[in-house]
Amino acid sequence: MKILFVHPHGSNWMSGMKDISTVFNLMPPLGMLSIAAVLEQAGIDVEIIDCYATPMPPAELVQEIIRRRPDCLGISTTTSSFNEGYRVAAAVKDKAPQIFTLFGGAHACTIGAPLLDSFPAIDALVIGEGETTTLELVQAGFKEISEIPGVAYRGADGKGVLSGVRELIKNLDDLPFPAYHKLLHFPQRYTLPLFSYPTAPNTSIISSRGCPYSCSYCDRSVFSRGFRFNSPEYIVEHVAMLNRDFGIRHVSFYDDLFTFDRTRVAEFCEIKERKGVNVTYNCIARLEHVDPELLALLKNSGCWQVNFGIESGDPEIVKQHRKFLELDEVGRKLQMVKDAGMRVKGLFMVGLPGEDETSIRRTIDYALSLPLDEVNVTKFTPFPGAPLYRTIREQGEFDENWDLMNCLNFVFVPHGMTKQRLEDLYNEFIHRFYHRHRITWGYTKMIWKSPHSILAFLRHLPEILAFEMKQKW
């Protein structure tokens, strides 16, 4: 049996322009690669088409899928890429109805079985973690689906129904490393955000699943609120494998809570140093975990940059949406990271429910006061699996256009605001942060600290200038 996984691109984030976000930041589809590795380990023929790395027109993609003659077409989508993924599946189903179409990913898990009622070209959905469920489906020849937990299928009345809840994988170390070798252009085509790494090639890793916190804007529909993680030994070997087999010299841990378990972090740092795995890394940390001892461990084991979710500089907005930490304490903790010799990146959000121009300006001023090397500012998006989604229409205007729900478009406008004003404030945030002498000088020094970023910047200068002109326009 042959399984072909497709990772659809979704709609362009700015109409009429090349999506430069994937030029400078392309993460391998790790969930899909993990499932592929499990299937391959069981002797199943698996192929992957990642449309982010190898984009092709929809008609060409459909033709390529049919040419490969898979028994099953597996499509993993976010909310913003679902419609494109479905159009591909429908076109394939029209030309080759014998191909079983299986959808998974965040959007399928969030909407669940009712998704099947409106999208007839989908045969089934994988709900929750996909490794074991997909393997059992393939081994059963996609028959007697109702007996396999974690599957949404059509019942006798034609309506979507869930077979049962799939138990979470207890020991993540039982999983093989993701099947990076299945990607056509790995690692050359895959890279971290510009100036967020000291060397190349580089890539991303996820070493844990779930989150015990309950931020209002986070969708936990795939891995739930529990927290499970790979052992320190497994993580170090994962990094060592990437270095040995693919020449990777820097990785970014994409975990929301890399520093959550202090013992795990300490053991990882000790093992990595002892084994001499010469790979630097970035990670995401929560500010309440930061202290000098932890920072020394990270720095000594090769940590290059630490990212923090700050979201807002308005204390009332922070209290509404996530665990609150005194804003003065945030600045102190960030300075500790800087003093330990690592770069600091702040993650912010604009357009949260309850925000107005005053609170957004407070966030901008606050971000400029912090010892940050760079920021990532997203546009708040109410995803269906987030707690906020249930009452979002009571808090402002929500245009639930799935194609635009990618954190790069304002699909939600809080009461008292307009979309244009949000766009203006967002652009002001970016402009004021980066057009400062300290930040400019910091990037100038990156010529020596991150030479690959400079080369990539120069290579894609036309796209950058076009983006700048569009922003000014």
What CA–CA distance (Å, rounded) separates 99 from 89? 10
pTM over 0.85: yes
Radius of gyration of the chain from Cα atoms?
A: 22
Helices 437-449, 419-434: crossing angle, 10 deg rounding = 60
Query: Angle at CA 117, nearest 5°, toward 109 and 405?
Result: 50
Q: What is the CATH number of domain 191-472?
A: 3.80.30.20
For the chain (length 473 residues), average pLDDT per consecutive 10? 94 56 79 98 98 92 97 96 97 98 95 97 97 98 95 96 95 98 94 87 93 76 75 98 98 90 94 96 90 94 95 90 78 95 96 96 97 95 91 96 93 97 97 90 73 66 58 47
* Amino acid (1-letter code) at residue 221: S
What b/e string do you get for 314-336 counting C-beta neighbours within 10 Å, with b at 16 or more? beebbebbbeeeebeebeebbeb
What CA–CA distance (Å, rounded) separates 256 from 128? 18
Which residues lie below 8 Å from residue 335, measured CB to CB, with a gap of 6+?
371
The helix/strand/coil state of 283 is: strand
The answer to whether the peptide bond before residue 187 is cis (omega within 30 degrees of 0) is yes
pLDDT score, position 473: 41
Burial (CB < 10 A; 0-12, 13-18, 19+), residue 76, is buried
Q: How far is CA 72 from the centre of its chain?
A: 25
Could you say which of 3.40.50.280, 3.40.190.10, 3.30.9.10, 3.30.70.3270 is the CATH number of the domain covering 2-162? Answer: 3.40.50.280
343, 304 Cβ separation under 8 angstroms: yes
**Alpha-carbon dihedral sign for residues 268, 269, 271, 275:** positive
Closest CA to 411 of 421, 398, 424, 422: 398
Closest CA to 102 of 30, 34, 115: 115
What CA–CA distance (Å, rounded) separates 97 from 93? 4
What b/e string do you get for 118-137 counting C-beta neighbours within 10 Å, with b at 16 or more? ebebbbbbbbbbbbbbbbbb
Domain boundaries, the chain: 2-162, 191-472
What CA–CA distance (Å, rounded) separates 389 from 398? 10
Q: What is the DSSP letter of 191?
A: B
Helices 232-246, 262-275: crossing angle, 10 deg rounding = 40
What CA–CA distance (Å, rounded) separates 318 from 327? 10
What CA–CA distance (Å, rounded) separates 333 from 289? 10
pLDDT score, position 127: 96
Q: How far is CA 81 from the centre of its chain?
A: 13
What CA–CA distance (Å, rounded) separates 34 from 372? 34
273, 296 Cβ separation under 8 angstroms: no
What CA–CA distance (Å, rounded) separates 177 from 331? 37
What CA–CA distance (Å, rounded) separates 423 from 3? 42
Tokens 């898979």 -> residue: 70
Quote the tokens at residue 275.
């084994």
